[in-house]
Structure 1
């Protein structure tokens, strides 16, 4: 490389590095955030476990643009550095990772951001893609054909990252488990629903055949059922309730989560079969109160779980 061209490339690399450092330490109101965190003596933020794959398929969202930028912004380093200093991929990527780890650590310690392992992975992918593009188009005599191939290689590698990311997303995405009867978890009141020889009944001329359980009152007395769910995460609660056609139209159903009323339906609100589905994320105790002729059946919950759970 000619000395003049090398000096221009060196200056361009320095200027581009300053631009990247600005975004790492000062953009997005980082200084205001740092002052607030330092004043309130908040803890440093170190996120050491990857939370998401590097880059999904294109979406018109700020999140996707940010993820794309985290990779694309570091591609030039994979081209500029080898052009200035002939280094092997192993040496280049090792020094790059050490530099990014240092910058991420400084972000956290100065409150100008956080140490995020996802950023380290994305930035390193960008540098690696750039180095491959350098090998294709810049490592020997530069021609237009090689430059085009280099640009195409960047596009292909970015698409490859997207495909792998989407595959990882599919594998780790949480799936909804089958519905489990609520009475199968720990019960603490001594009141148990009917779980065998389940009675059938008719509501608004619709024949109801419960499959899991039936909750009823004891004559004129309300009946209370309490369960410990154990603060399970990503839980959906399901139930059906109503008053049979051939019984006096009176009664109510109350469902509480950790002492807070979530459902309170008396006969004036009943119109045939009532079904509900609601999130119970992080709920420890579920209480069900049934009175009068109201019936509650097929009460259960499902959980969102990763495949390894």
Structure 2
């Protein structure tokens, strides 16, 4: 009986929702592009939903505000054909929660492409900063919801 009640009042991860538009530091929208595959640490990577990078700039900052409690996720890495200069930083409400760099990738290639999953509370602002040759892809979230939603 208690197991049924517990299940009824416990939120679970819902289906993946791709974020196909992020706002940059100036408030402009950036639509994630679909791209051909690329190689990271000898592995063929084919983004399924979207891909973001610096696109000719040295630094790009994207922000997104969550309306509901969610699990945010993305993949990241630097393609093999690019030099390893680059990094990624993710913060929630101004506090850094994840960082990665091309130097990390060079020293620990078996960990790349890497994935990042971050629990986000409703009303939180998530900021992603990409520098250099870093790419992020399949950026999205899963809303926390009750099984009947």
The TM-score with structure 2 as length reference comes to: 0.82
Secondary structure at the counterpart of residue 103 of structure 2: helix
| Count of aligned residue pairs for this structure pair | 142
Partner residue in 1 for 2:35: 198
| CA shift in 2, pair 1:170/1:261, >3 Å | closer
Superposed displacement of residue 206, structure 1 = 0.4
Q: Which ranges of structure 1 fall in alignment gaps of 5 or more residues?
A: 1-162
Secondary structure at the counterpart of residue 62 of structure 2: strand
Partner residue in 1 for 2:86: 251
Write the mapping of 1:253-272 to structure 2, written as runs, cut at 5 A. Answer: 253-270=88-105, 271=109, 272=112
The structure in which a higher percent of residues are helix is 1
Superposed displacement of residue 243, structure 1 = 0.5
TM-superposition CA deviations, 1:260-293 (whole Å, max 9, x none): 2112222111233111112122452111111111
Q: Distance in 2 between matches of 1:214 and 1:286?
A: 17
RMSD (Å) for aligned C-alpha atoms: 2.1
The answer on 1:210 being equivalent to 2:50 is no
Q: Distance in 1 between matches of 2:42 and 2:135?
A: 16
Secondary structure at the counterpart of residue 210 of structure 1: coil
Partner residue in 2 for 1:273: 113
Partner residue in 2 for 1:238: 73
Q: Which has the higher contact order (CA 8 A, sep 6+)?
A: 2
Write the mapping of 1:1-309 to structure 2, written as runs, cut at 5 A. Answer: 163=1, 165-183=2-20, 187=23, 189-195=27-33, 197-230=34-67, 232-233=68-69, 235-270=70-105, 271=109, 272-309=112-149
TM-superposition CA deviations, 1:33-76 (whole Å, max 9, x none): xxxxxxxxxxxxxxxxxxxxxxxxxxxxxxxxxxxxxxxxxxxx
Q: Which structure would you say has the larger Rg? A: 1
The structure in which a higher percent of residues are strand is 2
| CA shift in 2, pair 1:289/1:199, >3 Å | farther
Q: Which ranges of structure 2 fall in alignment gaps of 5 or more residues?
A: none
